[in-house]
Amino acid sequence: MSPPNRIELREVTKAFPGVLANDRVSFAVKPGEIHALLGENGAGKSTLVKMIYGILQPDGGAIVWDGAPATVANPRAARAMGVGMVFQHFSLFEAMTVFENIALGLDEKLSRKALAIRINEVMRQYGLTLDPARVVSTLSVGERQRIEIVRALLLKPKLLIMDEPTSVLTPQEVALLFRTLRQLAAG
């Protein structure tokens, strides 16, 4: 018997004044699968992932997580379920270090030493090279995205959502990202 879908959206709808952003969207993702949402600007892709992550609430339809109906009230609830999110626009403090930015984004507070060990483990495991002592303002766009990815991976997500992950990357950075995603999907 195959495992249940990690997540399933059933007829999910979201409207804003004058705009139907998502109209009865349905899809499912099984553990270990990689999916892409494709569409033009304004097609509703970001709205859809924001509903999965609890930033927005659907107007209709259902979200099913690991075979059970789920309500994702907010991002903290999404993270508790096992959903990680890397946004198109990074939430980083320019004057702070890589380490400080990662630490600020975590719900669980660890000692500096324990967090440093976990960050290094994740970076080594997925080939995401970063100097934790570097100040964010000195980093390339690809390196900044890696901060967000490392932060998401520290949560050991069952589902990782990335909004427009390749839009600002060089071809070499895209290749690294895709390699990391394949490694994540393989478990």
Ordered domains of the chain (ranges, CATH): 1-80 (3.40.50.300), 82-186 (3.40.50.300)
Query: What tens digit of pLDDT does each residue of 139-151 get?
Result: 988 899 889 989 9
Res 11 pLDDT > 80 = yes
Dihedral sign, CA of 17, 65, 119, 168?
Answer: negative
Q: Binning pLDDT at 50, 70 and 90, where does residue 105 land? A: confident
Bridge-partner residues for 157, per DSSP? none
At 35, phi and psi to the nearest 5? -125, 155
Q: What is the pTM of this model?
A: 0.86
Distances from the Cα of 74 to the Cαs of 26, 79, 80, in angstroms? 21, 9, 10
Contacts with 77 (C-beta within 8 Å, 6 or more apart), sequence order: 54, 71
Q: Binning pLDDT at 50, 70 and 90, where does residue 68 land? A: very high
Residue written as token pair 């969207």: 25
